[in-house]
Structure 1
Amino acid sequence: MANGERELWIQCVDWLMSTGLLDSSASSRLSKPADLASMLRDGVLLCELVLRLQPGCIDRQNIFMVNRMSPFMWSKNISLFLDACQKYFGLNEVSFDGQDTTIYDLSLEDFGRVLRILSLLSHTSQALRLNLRPFPDHTPNTNGACREVENQIYCNLRDQVEEMASSADETQQYDFIGNYPSTADEKKREEIYDCILTQRVPKTKVESAKYAEFKPTNERGFCIKEILDTESNYCDALNMIIETFYNKLKHKLSTDNHNTIFMNIKNIYLTHQKFLQKLTPAALNALGIDDPSCIDGKENLHMAGVFVQFKMDFVAYAPYCSLLKSAVGKIDELERTDSDLRQYLNELSKSAKFGLHKQSQFKLQDLLVVPMQRILKYQLLLQQLAKATSDVSEQQQLSDAIEAMADVSYYINEVKRDHEAIEVISHVQRSVIMQDGVSSRFDEHGRLLQDGLVKISDYEETTRRPKQRYIFLFEKLMMVCKQKGNTSLYDFRKAHLLSEYELVENEPEITSKTSTLSRKLTSGFFDNTNLTLVRKGFKGDSASSANLQLIFKSLQQREAWKKELKKAIEINCPSKAIAKGHNLLYKTYSHAVSCSICRKLLAGKFYQGYHCSGCDKDMHFDCCHVQNCSRKPIPASRTKTNSISSIIQPFRPGDLVVSRQSINSTDSSRLSCNSGDVIEVIDWSMDGTIVGRLTDLPGRTGKIAVDFVVRFSGTMRKSTSERGRMSTGSIENNVDRPVSLVSMAIINSSEGISDITQQPWYFSELGREQANQLLESTESGTFIVRHSVQQQQFVISLRYDGKAKHMKIEYDNITQNYYLHDGRLFTNILDLINFYRSNSLSEAFNNLDTTLRATLLRTNLYKVLFDYEGNDPVKYLTLRRGDIVTVLDTVGENKGWWKGKISRNSTELSGFFPISYVESMNPEHVESYTFNSNGEREPQHLLVPSVSHDSKDDESTL
């Protein structure tokens, strides 16, 4: 068949083979268009192709070696490829309109476009200079349509590629590239390692006449000798690098460049000097060479024991190995831009000779790789020694050493992997345009697990119509963005904390909001390719008003996202560990820490594991469910449920804390404050920080580390008595003061039962039937707390599922704690109520999956106590002391804000205001809210009934 008659994709494969880019095994693996499309999809092969045709046209360090489905990284690689085509190959006639970066999407037109761009490359002077036959013989039309026969060939390409990707082996994804840099470099580096450490006689010989004469006669002897000799050679190599390069380049390079290139190699050298001093007598002892001059009289360690002893010292290799790529890249950059330095480095390389041949010389880039090779070799060397060892006790010691070195290797690899992950996250952060000057480090959200275009329907938006958005799924949150035109930038839209959601895999129930007809119309596509995230505490019919619907293009894409979403949700709330009673904090450790359970290192550079505040243990994700929490045991009593307890936070929204020191940060996302400032908690993060608001300046918010604050208590009242809203008078006298989740703690400045009398949800002595009347027609989750005269006990009365529920608050006389179930104790009722404002009651009662969502307000008229002026007059309501505010809506209550209106100078103003700046006007009425048929919130006035102290109604617990 003539070249022009063959299908274009087959001609493309032949041309790629002729470039030498693909090895011989590739032809058998490229049997259909989907195989080629899958190979080209992430852009790595495209970048390697232009580098093969024009060396240096792309900085290889900028290529993302993608090991997962990530359109974001694919598009970055493809952008590199397209830029090189335009800049170095003169392909200006190709339409680079920004849409080309969606090549990874692999629609019919896109794949045809890829083939035509590659065809144009085959006709460039760079390709022809390599005597490569172009395809097809004529120059292709870049904007022409595919032939009809190819239309049939490329149909359903996306489904085929995604199905292949779901079962692909990530470890083999680049092995089809002939002489791929990583493979070629690895071979070259192994040769250098052997030349420097294995094939030569140690320059620094072991000071033992007996060892100099020693000739091993068995495999074990050979192994021990190899370990000792190569360690001696390694120390020589490190010394050479320091003497020849490190010291001499100190005055040639800037401090920053010098630190970038050599990192912590000097500390590593000092560590191995000590290591060799310990290893030498242990090795001689293992060989049966009794030489007093080499034996350390203080210690008599086995060789394996030396490795175990230095395990924590060897973690210093983690930063070295993770920064090695940057070090080599910096040397390459300096050699390209500074010819004098390049010549000087060549001279230094010539003076640093290794190996058996005088001609042997290595570049600094190659020598810096040797330390990484050495630390990763220890495990293999010890495994060889273990195989040659027959003594059982010695084998156990070697097993411990092998495990220690394997742990170090894994730790190093994970730190290196996390370093690369943080680089990717920084690329994402530079590509996302945040709103209203919001500033935060994206790596605080954990590792990036998944990204891509997804249709999303958000329950908080006015219209529930699905919208196409670009979603970045991190371990801790899901960031929703919108692509900015045809650029590689994204406008931030919203973020959802994954700890607040549950993944629902079953089909939604048919309700009044989802008719049978609409379900039938959408079942073919919607149900098979969607996922539902429901806010915790919402189930059944109410779930539809608090969920996120994610709609995917294919079943394969849905399965990939489901896997990562389940992983992220479990990371935030490890169910098995919580069932064991642990109070976990998913945290970043600044130094190497070992797991309290398995004793292995918590690997990685950030969010390496969990800390339990109950038993004070640090644990891996896979280890935190192995043991029960060993905190103080809970007193035995009746338990009402088998539900899993929630993670206890150090501070909850609404808590008051006091700054322990003055902080003046230039980072706008951080909270600047003075020592002694009172801060109310808005949110708590598992990274060890809280988002707080200054009580004196509510407009000033930001992050602050929990280590810098202490909980506000009654003993602090004097020191804060002159702080406006925090004055003693405002705390003690405002009995009817409206309280939200945020402002509750302001009133709770002392502990004990008397605190709840200050709360608007406490209705003193009230009977069951009267509570039923109060709660009738209120929204689900509305509650009050009352005192039952008959039972002489505090009771929570709650509206749920159209009925009033009544729950006794139990009291333990021994521990003097309050509880709804004995797995969760509280020192006072206020703390108990605060906890269940944000945590489901299903923990204590079966079939009661709701929080204490709303309180009954005694009036919608409030008097302003303090002046307040927001930073946005359109959004916030300006308050003047003595003003009368009419509450319009309690939206924002969980953040400490209500929406209200004020009439001033014949003008009606509306906006948000801080709840704690006002007090109620009329205690004779209760204000609650219901929803009308249009879904709008409507106030409803409820008269407080007269209280009969002789009420005898039944107070049986729910």
Structure 2
Amino acid sequence: MKHFNQEGTLSCGQSFCQKCLMWSLVEDDQLCPCPECRRILKINSLEHCLSEETPDDDDYICQNFQELTDAHGLGELINDCVPGEDEGESISEDMAALKDHHHVCDCVPGEDEGEHIYENGASLIDQQRICYCVPGEDEGESISEDMAALKDHHHVCDCVPGEDEGEHIYENVASLIDQQPLKKGMTEDEKRNCCLLEIHLTEGKYYETLKDIEKNCMNPLKLLLSPLERTAIFINLEELIKVQESFLRAIDASVMAGGSSLAKVFLEFKEQLLVYVEYCSNMESAQKTLSHLLANREDLRQKVKECSLKVHHGHFTLQDLLVVPMQRILKYHLLLKELLKHSADPEERQQLQHALEAMQDLAMHINEVKRDKEILKKISEFQSSIENLQVKLVEFGKPKIHGELKVRCISGNHNKQDRCLFLFDKVVLVCKRKGTQYKLQEMLDLLFHQMTDDPVNNKDPRKWSYGFSLIHLQGKQGFQIFCKTEDMKRKWMEQFERAMSNLKPEKANANHHNFQMNTFDKTTNCEACKMFLKGTFYQGYLCTKCGVGAHKDCLEAFPSCNIRSPEYLDTLSMRPLKKGMTEDEKRNCCLLEIHLTEGKYYETLKDIEKNCMNPLKLLLSPLERTAIFINLEELIKVQESFLRAIDASVMAGGSSLAKVFLEFKEQLLVYVEYCSNMESAQKTLSHLLANREDLRQKVKECSLKVHHGHFTLQDLLAVPMQRILKYHLLLKELLKHSADPEERQQLQQALEAMQDLAMHINEVKRDKEILKKISEFQSSIENLQVKLVEFGKPKIHGELKVRCISGNHNKQDRCLFLFDKVVLVCKRKGTKYKLQEMLDLLFHKMTDDPVNNKDPRKWSYGFSLIHLQGKQGFQIFCKTEDMKRKWMEQFERAMSNLKPEKANANHHNFQMNTFDKTTNCEACKMFLKGTFCQGYLCTKCGVGAHKDCLEAFPSCNIRSPEYLDTLSMRVLPKLGTVQSYHDIPSPPGKSGLTCQGGDVFELLRGPPDSQWEEGRLMQTQESGSFPSSSVKPWSVRARLQAVGSYLEKQTIQDSLAFLAISSKWDILNQRKTRVMVKKANSFYVTESKMFESLLDLLEYYQCHSLKEDSEDLDTTLESPYKFPLHSCSKASTWSRGYNPHVIGMTLAINNFAARDLSELPL
């Protein structure tokens, strides 16, 4: 048995029990209680008894094995020692999505919709598994060169957080347990405890996964892999596990003690967690090595498959499992950010802020090391392509740019020569092409050169006339460099300026220091900001006097230089120095960030248009071009105006920046169409690239012209969505550092406006997916004659059991589809469904059936839908209590949406409505979000509202006819033509309206003392004047629900009773009459469909078209002619056998629960 010895480790050499992680709970000499340890105890006991009490004879042991085990109480050992599947060691089945090699951040929004509006960013680019959540040093640079990491097969979306930046920080597929969003109503302390628990549990799950990989994959494969291959695939996994073991113990101890010291744990382990740098930087090559070996070795392929099945039930390939450590290390700063948000203690918050910055710094360092690894590959290619190069290019810093230019010496009358230039941080190499190789001609040290512009040459109309010069500071030979275009010249001069600035920083000698660009062999911290000097070579600057290391931006932050001892120069030990900025300086930095990044973003859009969209017009049809680039041209025009407004505001001090965002809120709605169609645009592009070689080559060529080819066209198409979802974060940071009260108020409004826009974009995308689902439902139900989209949004669907309340009916298997307005009861027919019942939730209430819950049989957990007018009700049965709770919750939500509690507040009449255009709630001024059933409309005054805002409106005021007319709700008198009029005579001072017999008008204006009236022709919607004598009042009553109105009347012919239904089925009042014969107390249109009462017949054809029985009558009976105008119901108010009338009124003072269907609940 594994005992704990005096040093606190297990006697087997392990530091704690690997099975239950009970290190801190097991005292010295106490047995670990986990099943694994008990099993090992039995094995050890068996070995002991076999060795001590039996002869050293294998045959004797085999023959007497049963007796030996029974004698020592170890009979059950046979079963215990047989390893099963890793019990309980399964990651959530939701992580099965990892197997499709396209895993990123799903960004499920929080309960505040719009949070983590970039939840679908993962589906926007076809990359692999890593959520690349780490911002660059300048966190607002959304289009910075850091996005080059997208080309790496392990970097995906930038994962822009929502308003609460840490909310749902474990939404990534890297999460090893299912997480739930923090619920509304929780206290901040409860949220903090949830965050602590999440860190604790997921860290334990993560450690178990690492041990599973080691035990079930790495160790078994040792026999099939050489040491080099094993190291290439698993890198330093063993070392990483040891660090995580200690890290987990420290986290356990901190969380058990209340979590106040958790930040210290992260700070103490920052240096140890550098073990991840080697692992993450080599992970891509590890997976390539593994893929290569699997493709060429059948024995290894079978063994790897067998090993993978033992880890998390085989849900993931070994390639997937190797990604887990990188996912975890890049998640720590998000976990800490969420914990910081809900921590109240000032001291704890300060420590958490330090820990958060430390983990962000580590993540950025990992990213920079990976980037440097790619740069070194490029440098190696340059090295091999230049023939007579005697030095190592890596000594000259990082490459900036290279390409074909023309060069000539400044002195003498030399011609321009074709040369290839390679620009590095320290030198520029001037080479001559020799086939595919280059021959070095000149190596110019930038330390001894300065660059000057040559504006005279720019006027030369010939090509290659845009030039600039490199002048030697000591009077030696200088050179002129010529570019083909002005844009190329600008790009090269910018890179030269950057290289010279890196080599000779402006503050290199600040405070008597002597800072020079330097490569640090070990990971080193900047002494000013205490952050890593990131990367693997030329990470920062070293003072040659005192030996301190620094970032370029921190050179001025050091005090006066002090010559340090040689021992200090050797160790380069770090001393923390705080770097402070005033709030005003921080505000200016925020303004500058918004200004600069907006300019870069606009340039990127123009590059996409110029170098991608326009060149591809010849290869794409108009439909394909629209499908891929959507409304990019319109978007660019809006951004151009937006950028000009931002420029003007920032130049004036930035106090009016909030007004710019508020003024452009409506114009920025252009992003809604772009973002909602971007996923389909990328799918269309991928499909075309997969099937057309010519297009594939052209797209590759175009992509190389934008940002040096760092991104594919699919990546570039995602840039606008990334930017629009970043605005509220930029404004939030600016608001934090603004002191002026008036400016803060405006910034708060602008922040809310951009958050509202982001949430609206997210909701439109969600509605687009919902409409796809509704379309699938529509096609799967055979005899459905109505459009499901009219019934609101789907809530839930599934297989249940249903039976009618009246009569002794058996339970029937049915599939229910619940929407906001109705529930469809269907019978399955193979893969299709047949509609059995359509229950209008407006006329039903739901009641629980607690008696049935005690029935031990299956499908006994039921609830009922009771018809409010005493008609047929239904009982619905679920298999489990949890299923019943879920269905009842969705029914309550649907009924609440259809009949909100405050729908009639302040004399309004709010009803669920679909707004054709983007509309604002008139209470809160925010968008009614989505594309259908976005909110509620008052049928009296025409105001739109959110459900939560219904009570916020003042008393309802019937609006003017002009206002109602704009909402297509105006009820105007109707006039019919009795005499044709052809504008002769013409009305005085107005245009005449030609009409002829049969035309119908809406009367707009008709003064009683005038011979002329003004109206609108309903057939053509033309307006004008006409003589009063040409028209007369129209006999059909004007009403809001004119189309679909019907009138029932009874006639007697030849001693037979007929009921005639006259239905108004279009705007021209064309009527079709169907005759229903009342025979044997039955009503029907055709004898194939019989009804017990006229009410049943009418209600059936309110939901089903009369086309079922007559092809020339495609309409439904929507509302009775005498139905009250203010009602929104499509059902009749009269019931079987009698017409109700009011005989009196009384006030209910107590609630009353109906005991059966003959009683009325109050």
TM-score w.r.t. length of structure 2: 0.39
Q: Which has the higher contact order (CA 8 A, sep 6+)?
A: 1
Q: Which structure's CA Rg is the greater one?
A: 2
